[in-house]
Structure 1
Amino acid sequence: MVDLLRDAVSLTERQRLVRSSIRDVCDTFDEEYWRTRAEKGVYPHEFVDTLAEQGWMGVLVPEEYGGAGMGTRETVVMMEEIAAGGGGFSAAQAVHGGVYNSVPIVSYASEELKSDLLPRVAEGEASIQAFGLTEPNAGSNSPAIETRAEREGDEYVIDGQKIWTSRVDVSDYLVLVARTIPLEDVEKRTRGISMFLVDLEDAHDQGALEMTEIPKSASDFVHSFELWFDDLRVPAENLIGEEGAGFYQVLDGLNEERLVIAAECLGLGRLALERAVEYANEREVFGRPIGRNQALQHPLADAYARLQAAKQLTYNAAERAATDDAVDLGALANAAKYLSADAAYTAADVAVQVHGGFGIATEYDVERYFREARLTRLVPITQELALNYIGENVLGLPRSY
């Protein structure tokens, strides 16, 4: 694997070890593996299972529970390398949930729940790939969720609907966000929301969960679903953290996760750029390589510069998240996500253009990278919401929503 961004940042010894280890895994899954998974819409079980067997799904699980006990500095490296290793943003997303959905368990779950679940996650025996938050009437406006959880004795009974819930089909557990107090009964709309751990096998056995896959044009092998809950009974001990404070628990750690999303965008952009440069050097038209033409050189160089700048911001922010308590991480995380998604889109667009007509041929992969790059400008937040945050919280402009 050629790393065109290898000199963008300096890595710690631990980060270099993560990079080397993840590259070793990625090197065993070639372009044809990812191309076939995308064409058939098949989840990359072999790839994810390999990472799980080596303990990488427990990278953020504390050592006391059998995990690696690493942090954002290491995870940005891990996820960038996964995206750059051939599978693109979708490969990173196939892993992302399993890594990050353990964070609320680590931070807020009871000791009994942590002791039971986290060692199994760290060992690759259990997965928490799915997170249920978004609803038809509550996308970016998360406090507007209507899914309801009512306490009945030693259980909560949950009814409602979720959309765009990914990886439910390959997960053992779902972290579900629901209202324990109706919106009309709270003084502040962000109160009255709680998080629950749902055993998906048990939910199906109860006949309380229905799911329908949502057809989509990106992330070909990571499937997303619409979910309906009908009298789903969840043990009270599966409440994650404090009842009614779930919205704030969701926000905790969000900025560091956003940096990891930025790193996944960087990996995708790097992959697209590397494929484009390779093709520009090999493809000859009018008796010379097409990369000799400035009409292609300049867009490729522009994409490189954008990726370099975005990577420096992302990695600097990850470093400061670990070492500087005074840093405005929200500003850096939103800027990093915004710039990295745009840099990935620029690189993928250039890659398609460099390939000419073959840019839309699936055998060259860059059309898939382009579709994924377009997705990065929408998830997990839109580019506009990232700018809203910066405008209000950094520049001091009036709130726009």
Structure 2
Amino acid sequence: MNFIGEPTEDQLAIKDAVERTCSQFDDEYWRDIDETGEWPEAFTKAMAEGGWLGVAMPEEVGGAGLGLTEASIVMHTVARSGAGFSGASAIHLNIFGPKPLEIFGSDEQRNVHLPKIISGEQKMCFAVTEPNSGLDTSNLESKAEKQPNGDYKLYGRKIWTTGAQRADKILIIARTTPKDQCSKPYLGLSLFYTDFDKVKAGATPIPKMGRKAVECNMLFFDGYEIPKEDLIGEEGQGFKYLLHGLNPERVLFAVEAIGLGQAALAKATQYANERRVFGRAIGQNQGIAHPLAKSWAELEAAELMAYKAASKFDQKLDCGAEANAAKYLGAEAGFKACETAVLSHGGMGYAREYHVERYMREAMLARIAPVSREMILNYISERVLGLPKSY
């Protein structure tokens, strides 16, 4: 998709194929897993069988070798199908999460693990955030202490680790050199891809407001053993490796929020056409029609920014401003569309029967993760507008 949003024939084919897969999983499927908290196993299996988990992975390891634009089309289509963040989050990590392993891992690490991640055989979780550091990754407290034989022992805590209850592998960052021995605070952090044991890691789900089927966890490490072969790249360079995936993650969150908002808008539009009060469709009233029209405009604008960012990334152009703006605009437009959908349904918007209350609960996620609105505005004000740093 180019800067004006016109898809190629191949991109349209991707969208159509993903839509066919998603059509197997209707609103009731997603409502049920939201209520039960069961992982959407049938959905993730279908997406793996379709090859979509490897859309952005190299062909030599079983991927499709495509770019962020195509990955965005996949995730946008999933969310827009009504799967929302329950569906998108179940496969989100597979799309760009293994990039540090692909780019900085050894040939053996890539060839052994990536095909299994793409097929769905290997289930990974990703642990970065900690209770006392939040977005300040340079101040992580977890540490991986090197042992005489070259292996490591991990100590510390992680929070908001998604999918840890079913993962058999973990991508995790920890400090290997004390901060006071590093010339810069972000140095001395190392990245590992290693076996994961949820019992030894004390993985504990965190009750939350939405996306119940895709759980987040607290992790506790006290001497957790990591073989030296599981270090990715060079010791102390883990933070640099993580930076490579920040812009793609922002873009994917953006299109997922936009897709969710578009699903909500479709529900609200249908309801506004069908619901009759005082002898006429409620959509005839500007109090209903105008907020829906405004949401359409905001979602379309955010979508253009997201695909502009993806296109620039695929062309190896600087896309930091666009990726951050897309995440901000997508999250805001998606949430506003979901809120408008609930309000357009009136009292029934509060009922689970019409699904939009689930959409609104899930839409809050993109306003918070993986980076807050305020940090995005800090980035734009400093890096784009040239204003003094505020923190």
Instruction: Give the TM interval when normalised to the shorter protein.
Output: over 0.9
Offset of residue 390 of structure 1: 0.3
- After superposition, where does 1:69-108 map in structure 2 within 5 Å? 69-108=65-104
Residue in 2 that maps onto 1:25: 21
Task: Return the alpha-carbon distance in structure 1 between the equivalents of residues 10 and 226 of structure 2.
Answer: 40
1:148 aligns with 2:143: yes
Secondary structure of 1:83's counterpart equals helix
Match of 1:312 among 304, 317, 324: 304
1:319-340: CA deviations, max 9, x gaps?
12222x4x43110000111111
Residue in 1 that maps onto 2:322: 332
The amino acid across from 2:215 in the alignment is: H
1:179-218: CA deviations, max 9, x gaps?
0012232221000001101211xx35xx632111111102
Offset of residue 170 of structure 1: 2.3
Offset of residue 87 of structure 1: 1.3
Offset of residue 16 of structure 1: 1.1
Task: Return the alpha-carbon distance in structure 2 between the equivalents of residues 372 and 30 of structure 1.
Answer: 17
Match of 1:139 among 115, 134, 142: 134
Task: Return the alpha-carbon distance in structure 1 between the equivalents of residues 374 and 115 of structure 2.
Answer: 39
Match of 1:233 among 207, 225, 228: 225
RMSD of Structure 2 on Structure 1 (CA): 1.2
Residue in 2 that maps onto 1:5: none
Task: Return the alpha-carbon distance in structure 1 between the equivalents of residues 113 and 322 of structure 2.
Answer: 33
Secondary structure of 1:174's counterpart equals strand
Match of 1:261 among 253, 256, 260: 253
Secondary structure of 1:377's counterpart equals helix
Contact 1:14–1:74 (Cα < 8 Å) also in 2? no
Secondary structure of 1:210's counterpart equals coil
Residue in 2 that maps onto 1:169: 165
Residue in 1 that maps onto 2:209: 217
Task: Return the alpha-carbon distance in structure 2 between the equivalents of residues 87 and 119 of structure 1.
Answer: 26
Contact 2:191–2:231 (Cα < 8 Å) also in 1? yes
Match of 1:53 among 44, 49, 53: 49
Question: How many residue pairs end up in the alignment?
Answer: 387
Task: Return the alpha-carbon distance in structure 2 between the equivalents of residues 253 and 70 of structure 1.
Answer: 15
1:65-105: CA deviations, max 9, x gaps?
11111110101100000001111122111110122221111
Offset of residue 307 of structure 1: 0.5
Contact 1:148–1:159 (Cα < 8 Å) also in 2? yes
Offset of residue 253 of structure 1: 2.7
Secondary structure of 1:77's counterpart equals helix
1:268-317: CA deviations, max 9, x gaps?
11001001001101111111111010000000000000001111111122
Task: Return the alpha-carbon distance in structure 1 between the equivalents of residues 347 and 19 of structure 2.
Answer: 31
Residue in 2 that maps onto 1:36: 32
The amino acid across from 1:68 in the alignment is: A
Task: Return the alpha-carbon distance in structure 1 between the equivalents of residues 38 and 120 of structure 2.
Answer: 20
User: Please, which runs of 5 or more residues in structure 1 have no aligned partner?
Assistant: 1-7
Residue in 2 that maps onto 1:381: 371
1:392 aligns with 2:375: no
Offset of residue 126 of structure 1: 1.4
Residue in 1 that maps onto 2:243: 251
Contact 1:167–1:224 (Cα < 8 Å) also in 2? yes
Residue in 2 that maps onto 1:4: none
Offset of residue 345 of structure 1: 1.1
1:62 aligns with 2:58: yes
Task: State which drifts further: 289-298 or 10-19.
Answer: 10-19
Match of 2:351 among 361, 383, 399: 361
Offset of residue 260 of structure 1: 1.2
Offset of residue 373 of structure 1: 1.4
Secondary structure of 2:157's counterpart equals strand
Q: TM-score, normalised by structure 1?
A: 0.94
Spell out structure 1 runs of 4+ moving beyond 6 A: none
Task: Return the alpha-carbon distance in structure 1 between the equivalents of residues 271 and 212 of structure 2.
Answer: 24
- After superposition, where does 1:122-133 map in structure 2 within 5 Å? 122-128=118-124, 130-133=125-128
The amino acid across from 2:15 in the alignment is: R
Aligned identity (percent) is: 44
User: Please, which runs of 5 or more residues in structure 2 have no aligned partner?
Assistant: none
Task: Return the alpha-carbon distance in structure 2 between the equivalents of residues 281 and 307 of structure 1.
Answer: 20
Contact 1:190–1:247 (Cα < 8 Å) also in 2? yes
Residue in 1 that maps onto 2:106: 110
Secondary structure of 1:23's counterpart equals helix
Secondary structure of 1:170's counterpart equals coil
Task: Return the alpha-carbon distance in structure 2 between the equivalents of residues 256 and 225 of structure 1.
Answer: 23
The amino acid across from 2:322 in the alignment is: L
1:280 aligns with 2:278: no
Task: State which drifts further: 270-279 or 371-380.
Answer: 371-380
